[in-house]
């Protein structure tokens, strides 16, 4: 029994997230079908996380325990042959027997992309949030710095049956920068809660609107109340950028 680390990238526009659902098409379902066509086996696979409907991934990691003897490089090429054009395998490599895509993960980096221009960009439809009012990226960067550190992120989490126990996370990086008309919010942490980055983004936009100030972020964290933070930004601007092991 071998263990593999497979790194994927995908456009999540046509999928209801990663995890298999009964009545909706997901990335996992499509990936598993391609894997079974290649190996002829029903593989035991574990994912680094769950992305929601419409969320994209530049680096999504899956560990696969398999009895297949196909070399990793050939396996990657074969998978790409069967996968649709909006999903691709970037790499496939052997991993230690105890490697687990989720539990071996040390942290992740997400990026939320905002198209900041009075006119919408059709080529970014479903891939970036269109925000037509001016954005002061320096103001939002100052606000984002309030997220850095080890905090209870209850205020930045949509509570459901998936979230139980400790809601404390350590954010190691949070920044807002501009690249032309694209404004990027990048955040890295040892883990993320349900909708956490999207709520962080929505709260930053509340700062832009003057409804909150950068100095309010610590108070929102301390409140441990979802109502204290801003709205949940749409899914289509969010990308899983990197996974750290």
DSSP-derived pairing of the beta strands 107-115 and 87-94: unpaired
Q: How far apart are CA 27 and CA 56, in angstroms?
A: 10
Q: How far apart are CA 60 and CA 90, in angstroms?
A: 9
Neighbours of 115 (CB within 10 A): 21
Neighbours of 103 (CB within 10 A): 10
Q: Are 89 and 76 in contact (CB under 8 A)?
A: yes
The yes-or-no answer on residue 86 being catalytic is: no
Altogether, the residues listed in the chain come to a count of: 245
Place of tokens 């969320």: 55
Nearest-Å Rg of the Cα atoms of the chain is 19
**The one catalytic residue among 11, 44, 52, 216:** 52
Place of tokens 């001016």: 134
Q: How far apart are CA 100 and CA 140, in angstroms?
A: 36
Residues serving a catalytic function are: 52
């Amino acid at each position: 029994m071998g263990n593999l680390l497979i790194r994927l990238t995908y456009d999540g526009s046509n999928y209801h997230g990663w995890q298999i659902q009964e009545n909706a098409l997901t990335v996992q379902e499509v990936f598993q079908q391609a894997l079974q066509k290649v190996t002829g086996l029903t593989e035991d696979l574990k994912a680094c996380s769950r992305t929601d409907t419409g969320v994209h991934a530049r680096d999504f990691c899956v560990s696969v325990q398999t009895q297949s003897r196909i070399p990793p490089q050939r396996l990657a090429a074969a998978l790409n042959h069967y996968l649709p054009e909006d999903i691709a395998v970037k790499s496939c490599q052997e991993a230690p027997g105890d490697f687990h895509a989720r539990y071996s993960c040390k942290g992740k980096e997400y990026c939320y992309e905002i198209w900041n221009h009075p006119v919408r960009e059709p080529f970014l439809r479903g891939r970036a949030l269109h925000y037509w009012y001016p954005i002061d990226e320096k103001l939002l960067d100052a606000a984002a710095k309030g997220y850095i550190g080890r905090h209870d992120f209850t205020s930045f989490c949509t509570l459901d049956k998936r979230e139980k126990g400790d809601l404390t996370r350590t954010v190691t990086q949070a920044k807002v920068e501009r690249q032309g008309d694209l404004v990027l919010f990048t955040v890295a942490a040892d883990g993320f809660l349900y909708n956490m980055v999207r709520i962080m983004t929505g709260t930053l936009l509340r700062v832009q609107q003057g409804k909150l100030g950068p100095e309010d972020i610590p108070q929102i964290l301390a409140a441990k109340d979802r109502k204290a933070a801003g709205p949940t930004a749409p899914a289509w601007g969010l990308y899983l950028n990197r996974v750290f092991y």
